[in-house]
Structure 1
Amino acid sequence: MMTQQEKQINYMGPFLTIVFLFLIVGFLTTANTQFQGPLKETFLMKVGNLKNTFATLITFSWFLAYPICGGIGSSWINKYGYKGTLIRGLWVMIVGLGLFFASSYFTVRFPDADIMMGESIIPIGFFIFLLGSFVVGASATILQVVINPYLTACRVKGTQAIQRLAIGGTANSVGTTLAPYFVTGVVFGGLAMEDIQISQLMMPFLALMLTIVVVVFLLMRLSLPDIQGTRVEKGEKLEKSVWSFRHLTLGVCAIFFYVGVEVCIGANINLYAIERNCPSPALMATLYWGGMLIGRLIGSSLSKVPPRVQLVVTTLSAGVLALLAIIFNNPWLLTAVGLFHSIMWGAIFTLAVAHLGKYTSVASGVFMIGVVGGAILPLLQGVFADLLESWRWSWFIVLLGELFMLYYALVGSRVRQTAD
């Protein structure tokens, strides 16, 4: 429940600020995955028959940050509050973008600095890029530990929690939709993969760093009130383990599969399309993320449909499309899955933190552990694609993920214990 003081606060300004930050997180997350194809053709020319495995390490290193840094985000919220944590998270992002710049600069300056791994030759600059991917992923983790509970708890008149998450998700999808063409059109100037140069990375990352610096200074001047009852107060201790809430624990598992299958398609569909000799692989990624944008726009208006019902319908639909894509060996069918993936995050998060009260901010950090699915499943899929010499059968990973989320919607999300 909101206190009388909180009812008098106008949360529209803070709400819009958080929504904008969600856009930045989505943009950088997808931009990072879209570097797989170009870097596969540049950094990884001498890797041999493990190109898919090494390329998916870019996504792996990003999402590896989620289980490691989710707890940091929760502790920062309890120590510095929501606004203080956002500012610190953005400074971490600037450091990560600096490492992206450094990877390009180092490779251009020292073109012969390589590491031998078996028969594979890998530039040291590639490992610097992986470190940058982890650090920016850590920033995205910390920001989302703030964003999710804040959107859930800040009461904006005429909305419910899942709607506010859908609106935030819509902004996130705007970022993810723009990112593929930012990478191919702005960073690499629309060049064919074989004509891309590593030196083209430097200026765009410097521009992104400057943009985030401006965002930090603007955020420092904005009012972003804390929300009572969603975090542990100073000197207070929690009586229970946050893992004692079964619906949260299974929710973490559900988000593992959700983020995993979302990223499998978003990051690897272009590699699948290249294998199938489809024109404009970047268009497929854009259509997929664009479908998520449309779905979230629709989801933000569904004020009377319960989260559980939304999750059942979307997981069934996405599962059918994934199965058809495998049967017909057609990547175009996977682009339509984005429409149904669009509101799964909000539905799962809303169900997972229901009735958690002061455990909410801690639960949000724990929730981020599940996001490691975005690291593990796409990497596993890349390994399968190399072993099977085809991406086609690797999409069974996506189908299994949809089935687990359906189980969570029907059974696992039932609340058996509350924080009261």
Structure 2
Amino acid sequence: MITCYPPVMHSGSEHTPDMSSGQRAQLSVFAMTFLYALSVTMIGPLMPLIIDSFELRLSVAGLLVSFQQLGGIMAIVASALFADRTRKPLLIAGGFLVYSVSLFSAGVALNYIILAGSFFAIGASSRLFDAVANADTAQWNPRRSALHVSLLHTSFAVGALVGPLYVSTLVEAGLQWRAAFLGLGAAAALAVAVYVTRSHFRRKISATAAVKAGSVAAVLRAPRMWIACAVMLFYVGHQAGFSVWLPMYLQTSLGAPVRMGAAAVSLYWFGIIVGRLLAARLAARVSIKRQLWTGGLAGGLVLLLTFATRNPQFLTAGALLAGVASGGVIPNLVTLCCGWFADNTATASSMLFLMASVGHMVSPWLIAVVTELSSFDIGFTLPIAALGLVGAIALALPQR
């Protein structure tokens, strides 16, 4: 939904809204995205502590992540259908407020049922925030949307990198796993409080005129949208599968020490951060289509060559370079699709993130199945091939 702001009259003249207030509100969204990303990567390190606390079987503990993903998928579908007909800042604030409350609920959960419900709510609220924040960021300043969306996803990548460090710091300080949820919940509550006090937020929700949202069916019928969704599916499939299995592959197949496996994933995510910052700088000079296909093909080729050496140091370096080459894929896709469907930005971004959820759920499992049926060497080629397919499919995208 595109909102038209009524002019504010001062001494008989029109006054242009102060862009600095909008920039401060956008910084609040960046901070909220950083806090959302912390919860994405802190769950893994916390899981052994949660299992011990509730005396859970591995399969039952794994259902917590399934509940989280289920909540996320339901929220993304709802966002695709309704978010363009609602004030997006209200959805951003409401979603993040529920996210904060859900984190507190997980931190004080006394039994598994409450914990599972909290994980469901964390997944639903964070995914709703994510989809709508991307749409609103792309819509906020269309002429510089590529820059702002890239910075939004850079904030996410930094948060994802910091998440495990946040957990290890608390654990080394002797605190329980609950402290991670409670501390993050408090930070999230503070962030949403700052966001709703921005004058830009108040001006947007009080706007009296709005352009009617475009047709959801028009987005669903567009072939270019489905090509972009395929790019997202394979990229997130690559990212999720590569991040999950890279440490184990380095340790079991290439004989690398445990510390190198952890360092390789950190370097991969550091490369993604650099790639997203580069995408923001390149936005005005290089077309999004070119960034997508060159990044996918170059990243896939680098990984294939370093994988073929069977040298853990070379593969770690390849992970860093692949992260740099392909780091801008997600923000570039959001910018491209929201530009195509300016009246349905939430629908477009929600479709992309629905494909991302599918890729995130299927890829690690598929790699494990192929590995069990053949070998880890064959299974680990899947995320490498997926990145190459990102570049190949992106060639079919229209220029604009």
The DSSP-based 3-state class of the residue aligned with 1:200 is coil
The DSSP-based 3-state class of the residue aligned with 1:188 is helix
Question: Is 1:214 equivalent to 2:199 in the alignment?
Answer: no
Q: 1:295 aligns with which of 275, 281, 286?
A: 275
Question: Is 1:89 equivalent to 2:95 in the alignment?
Answer: yes
- Equivalent residue, structure 1, for 2:172: 189
Give the whole-Å Cα distance in 2 for the aligned partners of 1:369 and 1:13.
29
Q: Which amino acid aligns with 1:22?
A: T
The DSSP-based 3-state class of the residue aligned with 1:411 is coil
Give the whole-Å Cα distance in 2 for the aligned partners of 1:227 and 1:217.
15
Seen in structure 2, the aligned counterparts of structure 1 residues 200 and 95 have a Cα distance that, compared at 3 Å, is: same
TM-score after normalising by structure 1:
0.76
Q: Which amino acid aligns with 1:170?
A: T
Give the whole-Å Cα distance in 2 for the aligned partners of 1:269 and 1:41.
24
Contact 1:78–1:233 (Cα < 8 Å) also in 2: no
Give the whole-Å Cα distance in 2 for the aligned partners of 1:82 and 1:311.
28
TM-superposed CA distance for 1:350, in Å, is 2.4
Q: 1:263 aligns with which of 215, 240, 244?
A: 240
Q: Deviations over 1:139-177 (max 9, x none)?
A: 221112222122212128xx6322211111222222122
Please give the residue correspondences for 1:17-166 in structure 2 after superposition, counting only pairs within 5 Å.
Answer: 17-35=28-46, 38=48, 61-74=67-80, 77-78=83-84, 80-102=86-108, 105-106=110-111, 125=112, 132-155=118-141, 160-166=144-150
Contact 1:39–1:55 (Cα < 8 Å) also in 2: no
Q: What is the percentage of aligned positions where both structures have the same residue?
A: 18
Give the whole-Å Cα distance in 1 for the aligned partners of 2:305 and 2:62.
24
Worse-superposed segment, 367-376 or 93-102 = 93-102
Give the whole-Å Cα distance in 1 for the aligned partners of 2:55 and 2:378.
25
- Equivalent residue, structure 2, for 1:381: 367
Q: Number of aligned pairs? A: 376
Q: 2:151 aligns with which of 156, 160, 167?
A: 167
Seen in structure 2, the aligned counterparts of structure 1 residues 5 and 247 have a Cα distance that, compared at 3 Å, is: farther
The DSSP-based 3-state class of the residue aligned with 2:343 is helix
Q: Please report the RMSD computed on the Cα atoms of aligned residues, expressed in angstroms.
A: 3.6
- Equivalent residue, structure 2, for 1:119: none
Q: Which amino acid aligns with 2:107?
A: F
Contact 2:25–2:195 (Cα < 8 Å) also in 1: no
Contact 2:302–2:322 (Cα < 8 Å) also in 1: yes
- Equivalent residue, structure 1, for 2:11: none
Contact 1:33–1:267 (Cα < 8 Å) also in 2: no
Q: Which amino acid aligns with 1:349?
A: V
Question: Which structure's residues are more often helix, by fraction?
Answer: 2
Give the whole-Å Cα distance in 2 for the aligned partners of 1:384 and 1:348.
29
Contact 1:70–1:141 (Cα < 8 Å) also in 2: yes
Give the whole-Å Cα distance in 2 for the aligned partners of 1:400 and 1:54.
32
Worse-superposed segment, 379-388 or 80-89 = 379-388
Q: 1:249 aligns with which of 226, 233, 237?
A: 226
Question: Is 1:200 equivalent to 2:179 in the alignment?
Answer: no
Give the whole-Å Cα distance in 2 for the aligned partners of 1:337 and 1:147.
27
Give the whole-Å Cα distance in 2 for the aligned partners of 1:166 and 1:305.
14
Q: Which amino acid aligns with 1:278?
A: P
Give the whole-Å Cα distance in 1 for the aligned partners of 2:4 and 2:172.
53
Q: Deviations over 1:331-355 (max 9, x none)?
A: 5233442222310101222233333
TM-superposed CA distance for 1:251, in Å, is 1.4
Contact 2:73–2:124 (Cα < 8 Å) also in 1: no
Q: Which amino acid aligns with 1:297?
A: L
Give the whole-Å Cα distance in 2 for the aligned partners of 1:190 and 1:177.
20
Q: Deviations over 1:366-390 (max 9, x none)?
A: 22211221122123223444555x6
Q: Which amino acid aligns with 2:132?
A: V
Seen in structure 2, the aligned counterparts of structure 1 residues 5 and 338 have a Cα distance that, compared at 3 Å, is: farther
